[in-house]
């Protein structure tokens, strides 16, 4: 009799747990954001995000790359990183120094530049230079075409060629009139006071281009900059910081969506992540559960055609790539 009672209690507990998990997975969770322009409609193909403007097709982060990506290739999103100059301009560059993308060290090879920059004291940092100083240099200097030719090495009029360092204002003004629906993914790389200033400059610049205020998602690796964006500029959409993204993925793995309290708009993730063991993140369930919260799922950085096809089949919202020409051709297969 006693044994029967114990089994009955265990059965009730298990039933309660089962009902609990069913309920938290059936009840729609609260949306992270009400309107999310980075989510594609059901059955639609993912958006193309030109990573660094498409660094395989053109010199990365230059106006030449951005113009080709938008005007010729027809991408949906421009993706890049932002740094603050010494005199308060926001410019696009992947690293906080410029040696590996321009001719600031003169006519030496890229291998020599990399060897030189192993000593951080030899690097030329963006924060130590004014915009006028940065604009002297050819940011297509080391770019190689598919045949290995440095086709922009000897360009003299770098401004007309679009090979100067690009500012946020220059990029927005370039496309605002003809492409008011263009979208942007940016990461603020500065931390501390420079990071706060970068947030302010970006926001004030966006106010001059009001259509873009709702079509930009901003990310950062720095907690204090994330807090700054949330508290001072709550109307701007944010990408998930690494820790927040990891927490979201874990709640989805355990199917306890209800316990996720995040408020980001875009989940920007690789297809896998190594945490001692390799976690596969290219799963339809993560995309579906993100969509329940109105979160867009954007994968980076995908330069392989087969991997692009797999993500298209999964129904992601965006594929970030260094090779938007390749992604466009893969998407055209589906169209």
- Tokens found for residue 130: 């004014």
Instruction: Report d(CA 22, CA 20) in Å as an integer.
Output: 5
Instruction: Report d(CA 74, CA 327) in Å as an integer.
Output: 11
Q: Using alpha carbons only, what angle is made at residue 14 by residues 8 and 18, rounded to the nearest 5 degrees?
A: 140
CA distances for 248 relative to 69, 70, 144, 287, 320, angstroms: 32, 32, 39, 11, 20
pLDDT of residue 81: 98
Rg (CA), the chain: 23
CA distances for 82 relative to 16, 155, 202, 308, angstroms: 50, 25, 9, 26
Report the residue count for the chain: 335
> Is the distance from CB of 297 to CB of 277 less than 8 angstroms?
no
Instruction: Report d(CA 302, CA 65) in Å as an integer.
Output: 18
Query: What would you measure as the largest C-alpha separation in the chain, in angstroms?
Result: 94
Q: Is 184 helix (H, G, I), strand (E, B) or coil?
A: strand
pLDDT of residue 178: 96
Instruction: Report d(CA 257, CA 140) in Å as an integer.
Output: 46
pLDDT of residue 84: 98
Instruction: Report d(CA 206, CA 218) in Å as an integer.
Output: 12
Q: What end-to-end distance do the CA atoms of the chain give, in Å?
A: 67
The number of beta carbons lying within 10 Å of the beta carbon of residue 155 is 15
pLDDT, tens digit only, all 335 positions of the chain: 555 665 565 666 655 445 444 444 555 567 878 899 999 998 899 999 999 999 999 999 999 999 999 999 999 999 999 999 999 999 999 999 999 999 999 999 999 999 999 999 999 999 999 999 999 999 999 999 999 999 999 999 999 999 999 999 999 999 999 999 999 999 999 999 999 999 999 999 999 999 999 999 999 999 999 999 999 999 999 999 887 887 888 777 776 666 667 889 999 999 988 766 778 899 999 999 999 999 999 999 999 999 999 999 999 999 999 999 999 999 999 97
Q: Is 272 helix (H, G, I), strand (E, B) or coil?
A: strand
């Amino acid at each position: 009799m006693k044994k029967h009672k114990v089994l009955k209690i265990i059965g009730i507990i298990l039933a309660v747990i089962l009902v609990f998990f069913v309920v938290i997975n059936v009840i729609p969770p609260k949306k992270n954001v009400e309107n999310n322009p980075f989510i594609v409609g059901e059955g639609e193909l993912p958006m193309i995000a030109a990573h660094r403007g498409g660094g395989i097709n053109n010199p990365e982060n230059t106006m030449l790359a951005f113009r080709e990506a938008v005007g010729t290739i027809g991408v949906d999103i421009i993706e890049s990183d932002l740094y603050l100059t010494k005199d308060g301009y926001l410019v696009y560059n992947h690293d906080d120094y410029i040696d590996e993308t321009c001719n600031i060290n003169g006519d030496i090879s890229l291998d020599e530049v990399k060897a030189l920059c192993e000593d951080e004291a030899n690097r030329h940092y963006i924060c130590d230079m004014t915009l006028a100083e940065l604009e002297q240099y050819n940011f297509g200097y080391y770019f190689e075409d598919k045949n290995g030719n440095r086709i922009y090495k000897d360009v003299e009029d770098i401004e007309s060629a679009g090979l100067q360092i690009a500012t946020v204002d220059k990029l927005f003004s370039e496309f605002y009139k003809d492409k008011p629906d263009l979208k942007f993914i940016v990461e603020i790389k500065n931390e501390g006071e420079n990071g706060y200033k970068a947030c302010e400059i970006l926001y004030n610049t966006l106010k001059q281009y009001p259509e873009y205020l709702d079509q930009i998602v901003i990310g950062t690796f720095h907690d204090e900059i994330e807090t700054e964006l949330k508290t001072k500029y709550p109307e701007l959409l944010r990408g998930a910081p690494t820790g927040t993204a990891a927490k979201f993925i874990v709640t989805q793995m355990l199917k306890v969506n209800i316990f996720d309290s995040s408020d980001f708009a875009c989940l920007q993730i690789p297809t896998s992540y190594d945490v001692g063991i390799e976690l596969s993140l290219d799963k339809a369930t993560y995309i579906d559960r993100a969509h329940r919260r109105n979160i867009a799922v954007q994968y980076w950085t995908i330069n392989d055609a087969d991997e692009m096809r797999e993500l298209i089949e999964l129904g992601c919202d965006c594929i970030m790539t260094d090779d938007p020409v390749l992604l466009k051709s893969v998407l055209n297969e589906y169209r």
